[in-house]
């Protein structure tokens, strides 16, 4: 992989002297969806698939970006002197946003760069290809310019870029999971204060299977920001009767006690999901630590039901994948993962049942939706690295 990337870099940019090759993973969230901007817990893990970059510092201020995933777009050029969001700059707005964010935070990005990217995360799948590029770019700049920030700060820089430069009001989960990934462990993260612990994911005779709806979805133009606004409004209404800073502070019992302060049935549903999903995540980590995969599976299913009925972010494609998964032998649990409205679902499946699982779910999905889905049997990997 390293040699073929260097070869491609030389083809695109003339030669590959003074280059390094870097990697940052994608991520999947096992449970805890739409809780990260509600002050709750999440439980993601980094994957062994992700984004690669070959990068070299230039003598001038020019930025030249190239992606092997969008070769038809060719080299897209910018400058460190004028970093603004431009629709025509397409995917390069993500790395540009990170460089802009570093400048905003007082880091001296003194030179331009030639940088080539290649991702083996399916684009638009909800496995965080954009956050992977952000964290990777932050990691590359840290190495090239000897910046002193740690990996948590790298995650926060990526989130800042996404919020302020791209204009998507995302929480911290994706960038954090990618920056802080650890082999064979998921991250139990409290998004309210960024306290976290690693939890070993021992699936014994089972594996994580990700199912891609193959329905393209863009976070910025989805209902993501709308859901976030609904939760903020519900929180403000709850704060008139209970002293809390976020929905994640409430137990299920407290929510039921105070929910009448929320003046809209829709907002009650949204807030209920945020509260109950946070509690499910806490229970899921306990179940996994106790080796109780069956309980983890039940909580995953309850999570999907809540995302479908209370948060309303699933859609026919994700609902079909999850419903068909749960009919198969050897399936411990399944749920949508990511922002929703397309993207991926995640399931835990007994290893010896995976082949028939893929065949049966794939066939049922094609019949109902009209185009095929994709399956990835994934491993849990580490955070960013220099190859």
**Which residues have a catalytic role annotated?**
174
Q: Which one-letter DSSP state was computed for residue 195? A: E
- Which of 138, 156, 186 has the alpha carbon at shortest distance from 28? 186
The token pair at 93 is 């707005």
Let me know if 273 is exposed, middle or buried by CB neighbors in 10 A (0-12, 13-18, 19+).
buried
Q: Which one-letter DSSP state was computed for residue 188? A: E
Residue 87 vs residues 91, 92, 162, 166: alpha-carbon distances, Å:
9, 10, 14, 10
Question: Tokens 């920056």 sit at which residue?
Answer: 179
Q: In what order do the strands lie in the sheet with 331-337?
A: 331-337, 344-350, 206-212, 374-378
- Which of 314, 328, 334, 316 has the alpha carbon at shortest distance from 363? 328
Q: Are strands 62-67 and 113-119 parallel, antiparallel or unpaired?
A: parallel
Q: Where are the beta strands (DSSP E) in 58-133?
A: 62-67, 76-79, 113-119
Contacts of residue 358, Cβ cutoff 8 Å, sequence gap at least 6: 209, 375
- Per-residue exposure over 67-106, b if at least 16 CB sit within 10 Å of its own CB, e if not: bbebeeeeebebebeebeeeeebebbbbbbbbbbbbeeee
Let me know if 125 is exposed, middle or buried by CB neighbors in 10 A (0-12, 13-18, 19+).
buried
- Per-residue exposure over 239-258, b if at least 16 CB sit within 10 Å of its own CB, e if not: eeeeeeebbbbbeeeebeeb
Identify how many contiguous H helices and E strands the chain contains and give both numbers: 11, 13
Residue 52 vs residues 29, 67, 110: alpha-carbon distances, Å:
21, 10, 23
């Amino acid at each position: 992989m390293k040699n073929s990337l260097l070869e491609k870099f030389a083809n695109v940019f003339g030669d590959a002297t003074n280059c390094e090759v870097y990697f940052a993973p994608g991520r999947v969230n096992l449970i805890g969806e739409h809780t990260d901007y509600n002050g709750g817990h999440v439980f993601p893990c980094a994957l062994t698939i992700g984004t690669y970059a070959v990068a070299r510092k230039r003598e001038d201020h020019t930025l030249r970006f190239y992606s092997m995933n969008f070769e038809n777009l060719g080299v897209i050029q910018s400058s460190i002197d004028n970093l603004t969001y431009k629709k025509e700059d397409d995917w390069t707005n993500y790395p540009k946003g990170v460089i802009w964010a570093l400048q905003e935070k007082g880091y001296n990005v003194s030179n331009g760069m030639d940088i080539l990217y290649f991702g083996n995360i399916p684009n638009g799948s909800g496995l965080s290809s954009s956050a992977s590029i952000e964290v990777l770019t932050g990691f590359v700049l840290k190495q090239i310019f000897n910046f002193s920030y740690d990996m948590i700060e790298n995650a926060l820089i990526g989130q800042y870029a996404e919020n302020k430069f791209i204009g998507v009001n995302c929480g911290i989960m994706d960038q954090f999971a990618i920056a802080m990934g650890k082999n064979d462990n998921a991250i139990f993260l409290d998004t309210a204060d960024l306290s976290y612990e690693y939890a070993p994911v021992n699936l014994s005779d089972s594996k994580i299977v990700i199912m891609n709806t193959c329905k393209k979805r863009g976070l910025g133009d989805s209902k993501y920001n709308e859901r976030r606004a609904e939760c903020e409004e519900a929180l403000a209404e709850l704060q008139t009767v209970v002293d809390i800073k976020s929905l994640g502070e409430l137990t299920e019992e407290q929510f039921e006690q105070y929910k009448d302060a929320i003046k809209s049935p829709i907002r009650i549903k949204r807030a209920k999901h945020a509260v109950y999903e946070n509690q499910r995540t806490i229970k899921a980590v306990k179940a996994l630590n106790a080796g109780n995969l069956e309980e983890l599976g039940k909580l995953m299913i309850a999570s999907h039901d809540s995302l479908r009925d209370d948060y309303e972010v699933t859609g026919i494609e994700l609902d079909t994948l999850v419903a068909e998964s749960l009919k198969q032998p050897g399936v411990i649990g399944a749920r949508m993962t990511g922002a929703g409205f397309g993207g991926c679902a995640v399931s835990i499946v007994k290893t010896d049942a995976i082949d028939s699982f893929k065949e049966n779910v794939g066939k049922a999905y094609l019949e109902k939706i009209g185009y095929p889905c994709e399956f990835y049997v994934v491993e849990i990997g580490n955070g960013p690295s220099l190859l």
